[in-house]
């Protein structure tokens, strides 16, 4: 795999969806804003929370991503004259003209946001973002914020699961741009999967924007475009340490004969076009020679051709990288390739063959990656595309944005479906840790409540459980959300993809193994304080 190392400490913090306009929202946000305005309630102070109701993929945790985009969207939030003129044409004709003048003057200067840090492990029902400000403005932010968080967090979580399935040794490469949900979806996926634990991307623009290491080699079309050694041009290569140019075609033919003899392969089954393609690419990139070897037959053509060209490069003091497998039984083929490399190393005294990498890319899913670890194989790098960026096992995280306070008074959605009810009031979120630093519970309190204290028992009510009050004594307490936006300004430096990635991997590793299991994980406890529990009971009885 030809790899261009990205600056993993890059400080670039561009938005994935640069210039997200406030018009990228649902029309009903404007009809509600107008109704607030018409009733004179548009400037009432309101608080909304963004959260999701269930961990995706039947898993035990999620990762939060998309914060950078949210903050840049908020900073730039304002309607252009063209936006407002368009809204005149789509809102009902009886909309008062002064409302459009109001829209022209809107910005986010009165909006405040607190948020969990990007890359943090988060759980269902825990508010990730709190957005407060004038009622009409924070209402208008709903759809855009959901759009920016939902997919980024989903694909980031998916990547983390692939990382866990792969284990720590194997490198992972994201290569889903051609299957992604449009250009912005492709960029979002590349950044989010890197945060989630992938090592490389094939997306060149993501490499430039976010400092992600990029990698790439040749596709089947390159191989099948050649049919004869006559098409190789140029046909010579200078030895790495100097000397006269060497004619590579006869040199490679000689090596091919020796490789076929060693492997018991039939020279007449070798595809001359495949050999020509490998040779041509090796001349172009002698330091980065890593071809795909299954365009025809791995055993009878692709592998012998690679070995012949690689041996010629080694003779000229270059270091090839390895091969890519893109079809068939990757485990079985990787063992075949690995054994042939060892044979060549021993027979021809070329130790470089023992350091070649084997890349596998063939419709890899989380399940097939987990199965890979259960079988003997020699795959060093796995490339994943479709199942990673499209999140085939679950298409949406299902984040919601719900009103919890207006004018200083708590608000709660009461629903016939208990799962869709909300928790009222402005809140503070705490993560309670045990003596080993493992998260043991997320506790949701009202914002005016005192913070939980270390080594003091706390009474709380776990969500989703028909249990009596529970007591927990934390060894450490962490406040999950930080103030990130106020008065139209971003309060903290935007995190780079690398910084969010480091935080994500640390956050995941802090979990108990039974919470990060891919199948049938133990549910992590999210609880509410006694005061919230009492407030919910009062509202349900109609007393508040």
At residue 542 the predicted structure's pLDDT band, cuts being 50, 70 and 90, is confident
Q: Is 98 helix (H, G, I), strand (E, B) or coil?
A: helix
The Cα 60–Cα 157 span in angstroms is: 11
Average pLDDT over residues 195-199: 98
CA angle 505, 509, 514 (to 5 degrees): 135
Whether residue 544 is predicted with pLDDT greater than 60 in this model: the reply is no
Q: What class does CATH assign to 165-390?
A: alpha beta
Contact 156, 118 (CB under 8 A): no
Listing DSSP states for 10-71 in one string gives ------TTTT--TTSS-HHHHHHHHHHHHTT-TTSEEEEEEEESS-GGG-S-EE---HHHHH
The Cα 494–Cα 491 span in angstroms is: 9
Q: Write the pLDDT tens digit of every residue in 1-18.
A: 655 444 444 445 566 656
Q: Is 378 helix (H, G, I), strand (E, B) or coil?
A: coil
What are the residue ranges spanned by the domains of the chain? 27-162+396-431+479-512, 165-390
Architecture of domain 27-162+396-431+479-512: Alpha-Beta Barrel (3.20)
Contact 478, 172 (CB under 8 A): no
Average pLDDT over residues 223-231: 97
In this structure, how many other beta carbons lie within 10 angstroms of the beta carbon of residue 214?
20
Question: Tokens 């021993």 identify what position?
Answer: 346
Q: What is the pLDDT of residue 14?
A: 61
Q: What is the pLDDT of residue 421?
A: 85
Q: What is the pLDDT of residue 13?
A: 58
User: What is the value of pTM for the model shown?
Assistant: 0.94
Q: What is the pLDDT of residue 419?
A: 73
Q: Write the pLDDT tens digit of every residue in 59-78.
A: 999 999 999 999 999 999 99
Query: Mean pLDDT score of the chain, rounded to an integer?
Result: 94
Whether residue 149 is predicted with pLDDT greater than 50 in this model: the reply is yes
Average pLDDT over residues 312-321: 97
Q: Write the pLDDT tens digit of every residue in 71-110.
A: 999 999 999 999 999 999 999 999 999 999 999 999 999 9
Contact 26, 221 (CB under 8 A): no
The closest alpha carbon to 76, from 113, 137, 22, belongs to 22
Strand bridging mode 526-529 / 439-446: parallel
Q: Write the pLDDT tens digit of every residue in 487-514.
A: 999 999 999 999 999 999 999 999 999 9
* SS percent in the chain: helix, strand, coil, step 5: 40, 20, 40
Question: How many CA atoms, within 13 angstroms, populate the side-chain half-sphere of residue 165?
Answer: 24
Average pLDDT over residues 23-36: 98
Contact 57, 162 (CB under 8 A): no
The Cα 330–Cα 359 span in angstroms is: 9
Listing DSSP states for 471-525 in one string gives EE--SEEEE-EEEEEETTEE-SPPPPHHHHHHHHHHHHHHS-HHHH-SSSPPPPP
């Amino acid at each position: 795999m030809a790899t261009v190392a990205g600056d993993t400490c890059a400080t670039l913090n561009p938005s994935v969806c640069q210039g997200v306009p406030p018009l990228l929202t649902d029309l009903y946000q404007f009809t509600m804003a107008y109704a607030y305005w018409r009733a004179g309630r548009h400037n009432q102070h309101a608080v909304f929370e963004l959260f999701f109701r269930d961990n995706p993929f039947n898993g035990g945790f999620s990762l939060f991503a998309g914060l950078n985009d949210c903050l840049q969207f908020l900073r730039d939030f304002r309607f252009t004259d063209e936006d407002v003129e368009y809204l005149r044409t789509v809102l009902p004709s009886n909309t008062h003209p002064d409302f459009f003048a109001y829209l022209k003057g809107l910005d986010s200067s009165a909006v405040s946001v607190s948020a969990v840090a990007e890359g943090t492990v988060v759980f269902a029902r825990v508010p990730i973002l709190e957005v407060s400000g004038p009622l009409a403005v924070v209402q208008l932010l709903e759809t855009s914020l959901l759009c920016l968080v939902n997919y980024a967090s989903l694909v980031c979580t998916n990547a983390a699961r692939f990382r866990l399935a792969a284990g720590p040794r194997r490198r992972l490469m994201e290569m889903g741009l051609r299957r992604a949900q449009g250009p912005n979806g492709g960029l979002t996926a590349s950044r989010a999967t890197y945060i989630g634990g992938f090592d490389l991307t094939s997306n060149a623009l993501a490499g430039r924007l976010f400092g992600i290491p990029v990698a790439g080699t040749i596709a089947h079309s390159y191989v099948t475009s050649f049919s004869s050694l006559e098409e190789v041009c140029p046909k010579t290569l200078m030895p790495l340490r100097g000397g006269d140019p060497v004619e590579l075609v006869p040199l490679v033919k000689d090596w091919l004969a020796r490789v076929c003899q060693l492997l018991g392969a039939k020279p007449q089954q070798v595809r001359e076009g495949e050999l020509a393609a490998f040779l041509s690419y090796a001349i172009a990139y002698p330091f980065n020679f890593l071809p795909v070897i299954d365009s025809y037959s791995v055993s009878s053509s692709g592998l012998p051709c690679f070995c012949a060209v690689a041996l010629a490069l080694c003779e000229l003091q270059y270091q090839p990288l390895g091969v890519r497998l893109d079809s068939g039984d990757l485990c079985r083929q990787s063992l075949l390739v690995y054994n042939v490399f060892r044979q060549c190393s021993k027979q021809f005294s070329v130790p470089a063959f023992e350091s070649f990498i084997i890349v596998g890319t063939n419709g890899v899913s989380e399940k097939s990656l987990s199965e890979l670890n259960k079988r003997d194989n020699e795959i060093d790098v796995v490339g994943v595309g479709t199942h990673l960026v499209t999140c085939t096992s679950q298409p949406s995280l299902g984040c919601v944005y719900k009103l919890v306070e207006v004018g200083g008074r708590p608000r709660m959605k009461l629903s016939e479906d208990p799962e869709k009810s909300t928790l009222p009031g402005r809140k503070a979120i705490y993560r309670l840790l045990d003596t080993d630093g493992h998260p043991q519970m997320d506790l949701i309190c009202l914002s005016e409540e005192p913070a939980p204290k270390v080594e003091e028992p706390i009474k709380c009510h776990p969500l989703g459980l028909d249990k009596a009050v529970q007591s927990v004594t934390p060894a450490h307490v962490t406040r999950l959300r930080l103030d990130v936006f106020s008065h139209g300004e971003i309060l903290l430096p935007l995190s780079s993809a690398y910084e969010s990635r480091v935080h994500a991997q640390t956050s995941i590793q802090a979990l108990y193994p039974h919470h990060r299991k891919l199948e049938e994980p133990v549910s992590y406890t999210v609880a509410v304080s006694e005061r919230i529990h009492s407030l919910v009971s009062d509202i349900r009885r109609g007393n508040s």
